[in-house]
Structure 1
Amino acid sequence: MSEQLKHHLNKVVEITDEEFPSILEYFETVKLKKKQNLQQIGQVCHSNYFVEIGCIRMFFVNEKGIEQTTQFAIENWWITDYLAYTFQKESEFTLQAVERTTVLSIHFQAQEKLLKEFPKLEKYFRHIYQRAYAASQMRMKFMYDFSKEELYLHFNKHFPEFVQRVPQYLLASFLGLTPEYLSEIRKKSIS
C-alpha cells in the first residue's frame, strides 16, 4: 500500500526507489474500524495522516451538541487539524473513520526530521498545504454563494465519489443541511 504514498510524493517531487524506504520509516500504519476515532477534541494533535484506504471525517460538536462535519479525506488525501498540529496544541476537532480505514501517520517531530533529511519534501508539503487552504477558501465561498440546493448539486457534480460513499447524514452535516432536507433535494434532483 505504501506505493500510494510514493506515487503521491512523485506528483510533486522525484523520490527514488532508494530514498523511499528511508522516507517510509518515518510513518506508522494505523488501521481503524468504522466510527473509530483517530484524534479527539481536547487531545494534543501530534500527527498528520495520509489516507491509504477508506475515508476519514473531521468534525466538531457545536453549542447545540450537534456534530458538524468540516472535512472528509479519502484515498491519497491528507487530513489533520492543521492549526493544532502546527502549534502542537489541543485539537478542537475529532477525526473519525467513516468506514474501515488505513492511514499512514507521521508524528510532528518525525515530520520535522524527515524534512531535514529530505529537504525536497518541503516543496511537497507546501504544495499539500496550499491545496488544502485553497480548497477551504473555495468551500467557504460556495457556502456563501450557493443556495443549499445549489451547494448539494455542485458537490454531487464535482465529488460524486463522496455522495456515493458517505452516509447521507454525514454529507448533510458537511453541507450544513438537515438529513431530511438533503433527502428532499436528492429526490427533487432525481426526478
Structure 2
Amino acid sequence: MYPELLAHIKRYVQLTAAEEQLLCEKLEPKTLKKKAFLLEAGKHCHGNYFVVKGCLRLYFVNNKLNEQIIQFGIENWWITDYDGLTSKQPSTCYIQAVEPSEVLLLSEKNQAILFEQIPCLETYFRIMMQKAYVASQRRIGYIFNLTEEERYIHFSSRFPDFLQRVPQYMLASYLGFTPQFLSRLRAKKI
C-alpha cells in the first residue's frame, strides 16, 4: 500500500478498500538518485508521477541553451510532461531529481484501466489538472505583473522550504531571472 498517495486522494474523493488495492497494484515505484532522469527530451513520457519523497524539476533547454524550469514536484505533488503524454510525441522536456527521490508511476495504460474501473479517479485527476492549470496561470500572471524582486518575495513567502531545498540557479530559472540577480537579492537580505 502507498499511504501518502491514498491520503492525498482521500482529500478529494473516497475509495473503497478494494479500489485502493486495485490502484496500488497498478502503480510502479521508482527510486531516483540525485540528478537522475525520469524523462529526457526526445523520449516518450510514460505516465504521471506522484512524488512520495524528494524533489524533481520539469524543464526544457531554450534556444540559448539555458535550462528553463517549468515546474517543481515535491512530496504529494504530481509531475509529468502533459504535452508529450497527450500528443504521444517525443518529449521536449526533462524530468530530473533535484534530490534523492521516490515516485510512483501511473502509466497511461493503467490510468485508462483505472478510470473505467474506479470512475471517481477521473474526478480526482480532473481536480489535480485544474489545480495545476490555476497554478500555471498564476505563475504567468506573476511573471507579467510583478517585478523580479516582487516575484522572489512572493515565492519565498509562499514556499519557504524551497529556498533550502533547491539550488539557487534552479530557483532563478523558475522565477525567470539570472542566478546573479538572485545573489544580489539575497545579499540585500530581503
TM-score normalised per structure 1: 0.96
Residue deviations 1:138-180, cap 9 Å, x none? 0000000000010000000011121121111110111111111
Over the matched positions of the two proteins, sequence identity in percent amounts to 47
Aligned to 1:43, the other structure's residue is in SS state coil
C-alpha separation in 2, matches of 1:175 and 1:35: 21
RMSD: 1.1
C-alpha separation in 1, matches of 2:135 and 2:172: 19
Residue 122 of structure 1, CA deviation: 0.7
- Give the partner amino acid of 1:40: E
Structure 1 residue aligned with 2:156: 156
C-alpha separation in 2, matches of 1:189 and 1:134: 30
Structure 1 residue aligned with 2:62: 62
Residue 59 of structure 1, CA deviation: 0.7
Residue deviations 1:109-154, cap 9 Å, x none? 1110111110111100000000000100000000000000100000
Gaps of 5+ in 1: none
| Structure 1 contact 29–102 (Cα < 8 Å) conserved | yes
| Structure 1 contact 55–101 (Cα < 8 Å) conserved | yes
Structure 1 residue aligned with 2:39: 39
Q: Say if 2:118 is the partner of 1:118.
A: yes
C-alpha separation in 2, matches of 1:11 and 1:89: 33
- Give the partner amino acid of 1:35: K
- Give the partner amino acid of 2:22: S
TM-score normalised per structure 2: 0.97
Aligned to 1:56, the other structure's residue is in SS state strand
Q: Say if 2:103 is the partner of 1:103.
A: yes
| Structure 1 contact 46–88 (Cα < 8 Å) conserved | no
Structure 2 residue aligned with 1:13: 13
The 4+ residue runs of structure 1 with deviation greater than 2 A are 16-19
